């Protein structure tokens, strides 16, 4: 009996230690999860998805468009040499956009972590926000606004190829429709020269009738059309992510500014209380000396 009692006590102590360790791990996990800026995390994920869709699909769609124009609308290479150069420039710009937004989204996420921890420490009176930190938040807010305007223009520009391909797709669908009573299919044409994509002296410059139907059935047209739609959606998702970032940065800047005002008020109040306390002590000292 005497031997089993110490064993039971040791087991109870081990169980209590394990419980304390598990409780400590749980509290640590809760503390870590509480410091995650979920709004910035959601905006970052949305930004990554949008930029990846826009850049990846846009790059492949531009290549497919150039192949389709080269094979069906501008058979002479010199006629669309300028267009080829412009498409290559756009593809290099896409590389730059992808790299820039990958780094910029990570910086905004890091700024979200910094601001979240700063605000929590401000509430606990353990930390004071510096002017540099507020300036960084304001700078990111200004730069994000510029990026929002730029990507809003890109979003509108991406709608142009979607519109052009949709017109071709609609024309081909109307020609293949059994309800369409078309007596002269060769009179139905799509002339891409009128959109300014290729010059007016390009050969042939347009596709009519059965030729147009064959173009709509090619893999280049089908793939490019759907990739442009996905790239358009990706650009829209990126615009939404940037709007989300702007709201987050605006809220963070307001919180930091409010925290600074609160700290200034607390410092003034603490100083006044100390002055009143010192004045009260001096009066007590004078009274005690007069009684003595």
| Domains of the chain by residue range | 40-120+128-259
Cα atoms in the Cβ-side hemisphere of radius 13 Å centred on 24: 6
Question: How large is the greatest C-alpha to C-alpha distance in the chain, in angstroms?
Answer: 125
* Percent helix / strand / coil, the chain, rounded to 5: 85, 5, 10
Query: How much is the pLDDT for 126?
Result: 47
Burial class (CB in 10 A: 0-12, 13-18, 19+), 229: middle
Predicted TM-score of the model (pTM):
0.75
Query: How much is the pLDDT for 58?
Result: 93
Residues of the chain where predicted confidence (pLDDT) is lower than 50: 1, 123-124, 126-127, 265
Query: How much is the pLDDT for 104?
Result: 93
Query: How much is the pLDDT for 239?
Result: 95
In whole angstroms, give the CA distance from residue 148 to residue 286.
68
Query: How much is the pLDDT for 24?
Result: 60
Query: How much is the pLDDT for 231?
Result: 95
pLDDT digits (tens, 9 = 90+) for 121-166: 554 454 455 567 678 888 899 999 999 999 999 999 999 999 999 9
């Amino acid at each position: 009996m005497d031997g089993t009692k110490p064993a039971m006590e040791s087991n109870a102590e081990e169980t209590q230690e394990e419980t304390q360790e598990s409780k400590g791990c749980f509290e640590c996990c809760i503390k870590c999860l509480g410091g995650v800026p979920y709004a910035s995390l959601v905006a970052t994920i949305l930004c990554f998805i949008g930029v990846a869709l826009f850049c990846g699909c846009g790059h492949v769609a531009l290549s497919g468009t150039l192949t389709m124009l080269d094979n069906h609308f501008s058979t002479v290479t010199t006629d669309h040499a300028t267009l080829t150069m412009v498409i290559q420039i756009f593809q290099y710009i896409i590389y730059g956009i992808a790299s820039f937004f990958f780094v910029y989204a990570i910086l905004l996420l890091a700024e979200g972590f910094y601001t979240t921890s700063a605000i929590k420490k401000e509430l606990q009176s353990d930390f004071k926000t510096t002017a540099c930190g507020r300036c960084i938040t304001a700078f990111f807010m200004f730069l994000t606004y510029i990026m929002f305007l730029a990507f809003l223009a890109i979003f509108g520009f991406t709608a142009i190829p979607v519109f052009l391909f949709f017109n071709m797709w609609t024309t081909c669908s109307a020609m293949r429709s059994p309800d369409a009573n078309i007596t002269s299919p060769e009179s139905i044409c799509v002339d891409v020269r009128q959109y300014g994509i290729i010059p007016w002296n390009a050969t042939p410059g347009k596709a009519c009738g059965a030729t147009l139907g064959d173009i709509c059935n090619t893999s280049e047209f089908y793939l490019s059309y759907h990739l442009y739609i996905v790239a358009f959606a990706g650009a829209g998702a990126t615009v939404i992510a940037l709007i989300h970032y702007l709201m987050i940065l605006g809220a963070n800047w307001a919180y930091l500014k409010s925290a600074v005002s609160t700290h200034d008020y607390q410092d003034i109040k603490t100083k006044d209380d100390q002055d009143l306390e010192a004045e009260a002590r001096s009066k007590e000292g004078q009274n005690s000396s007069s009684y003595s």
